[in-house]
Structure 1
Amino acid sequence: MSRAWKAIGLSLLVGCLWLPTAAMADLRLASWNIQNLGWNTGKDYGALARIAAHFDFVAIQEAMNAEGVYRLRDTLTESTGEPWEVLYSDAMGRSSYREKYAFLWRENAVEYTGGALTYIDDADRFAREPFSAAFRSRGTGQEFLAANVHITYGQRVADRVAEVEALRRYWDWLADVQPEHARLRILFGDFNLQPHHDGWATLREVAKPLITEGATTLSTHDRRYANLYDNLWVPRQHDLPLGEAGILPFPVVLTEATGGYWDHEKARDRVSDHAPVYVLFEGNTLHAPEGAEWAEPASPACIDLNQASIRSLTALPHIGEARAQAIHAGRPWSAVHELDQIRGIGGGRLADIQETGQACVQP
């Protein structure tokens, strides 16, 4: 799927950055895994600022040190002519490889209201315990509780599933410690798991992902994206004024903004291997330069085990015509993990099918 965003009249161009103005509608919120932010790897902070400036608030994963976070803040302040502020966690991780979570926001649009908390993970379920804090829109007074997590990639899909399943307990904990924000929670993160995966079943009972189509990780093939790992989750019953949600294809944005072509090799090397995901509060939109179009990253559509044709089912890993016919004959299916009932689909093959995120059982 692709969609185009067109420029409209209330945009303000400052140093080739498209920025919100006070007269516009309320906040633009984003989540972005900025690969190894702070390491001396040739990161282009000017390019990072061009992308971050599309938003008022960014939850950042993979901040390796405070210096990188502050350098991005200072670059944004200088390039936009507006003050930005940051809040970050302690370094998280079980090994010598440790990361910080960070929140970055435009001060004239967002106010930090307190309550910064690192999750007390007594059961040691998370390699990097989630971090949260409360904020308010300066324009409308709308409050929201931002939680930030980077799920471990691990050695196996099962490693990720274990942490994703633990998110339900964390989600409930957030409501317990800040009940006034229970209906205002937003979970930002890089989850390393597709939103259709069965591992989300417990959290799905009380929350929902805002992005269910497209992909967020930059493929090594130019203008192609791989997995929908980055997302934002909100309560099924909430009081948030949510509008459009989507994925910002930053290599295209940088190409249009700078006049120089940003292929995926350059983008991965100098910016990140993840694209930002975002949600806009009602009445907002993102702006492209006049006449330009930003193609939204696309990924293969979900293959519904109960609706797909036999030919479509063979697009799944390890599924030939014989197994596709067995899936067809076994309908109805209630969950993807039930495919282990099919002869020849053991734990390893089932994990491969689930990892793609292509198989699903639509409600």
Structure 2
Amino acid sequence: MRVGIIGATGYGGAELLRLLNQHPHVQDIILYSSSKEGMNIQESYPHLSEIYNKELQSINIDSVKEEVDTVFLATPPGVSSEWAGKIAEAGCQVIDLSGDLRLEDPSVYEAWYKREAAPSSLIQKAVYGLPEWNREWIKSAKIISNPGCYPTATLLGLAPLVKSDLIEFDSIIVDAKSGTSGAGRSPSAITHYSEMNENFKIYQINQHKHVPEIEQLLHQWNKKVSTITFQPHLVPMVRGIMATIYVKARKKTTEQELRELYREAYRHERFVRVRPDGQYPATKEVYGSNYCDIGLTYDERTGRITIVSVIDNVVKGASGQAIQNFNIMNGFEEGTGLKLVPMYP
């Protein structure tokens, strides 16, 4: 197949190029840009010079439909809403890594993203690409809305409990930490080395745009869920997300019962690994891979369940999951091009 990437100069786009380069079913990759056409990718990423030595192309729908079968939109919010519909109408598959197509209600998008939403007709055509729970819809989709990084870690961590109706739904608290690559490549005060090195920051208190995305899917799984408490932090590392999730059990349970629930839920999922008793994952243990590792425990004294969910935010939280969706859409084995052993240390 021939694939195109719009937004290749960002971290997500560069990671897509790295991973798709060794995908056995990808014959050609074309990089497009709305602002840097004519530039060679090695000007931004010298390490990619051996795998791509062509100039970035301008986005022309007539050319795109002749050149590629699938387009990955690794663009900031606001760009995908402009291009996704046009590309899909031209006959290409679309996998959107931005948040433009994730929220079903345009007014919710506009309230959290502070910009105009995509047309409702386009949003309705997009399938939310969380493979472990939406696989059947992904198989026949033409437009995929790839989940955000925080939602991926959080939703995979919560799904078995929410779907099984085992918790008090007003008790969900998500305490999440991310590496700085999640903020993108454009420099800012919050990710400046002098600000972030040897520092630990809370940010966007009660305002993070991934909150409604998480709540939307939890509500679809169980109508009893309405709102959650979600708070992100930045830690002085480049890659990785750890979501530590606290919930109150509805009735007395045991850690063994909970672990069996998770093992059964993810028994056939190649990219979700449930840790054994007494083990809790660290971000370094999924670094550079498409895995989500989950550990959990139950405190009999307080009746609270604690779930620890970790991912690499650039892979399973973005580009790797996008390729996982690409594989499902096209009938390829789901792990094709993603059989990456985590880098450690």
Q: TM-score, normalised by structure 2?
A: 0.29
Which gives a bigger RCO, structure 1 or 2 (Cα 8 Å, sep 6+)? 1
Task: Report the structure number with the largest CA radius of gyration.
Answer: 1
Q: TM-score, normalised by structure 1?
A: 0.28
Which structure carries more helix by proportion?
2
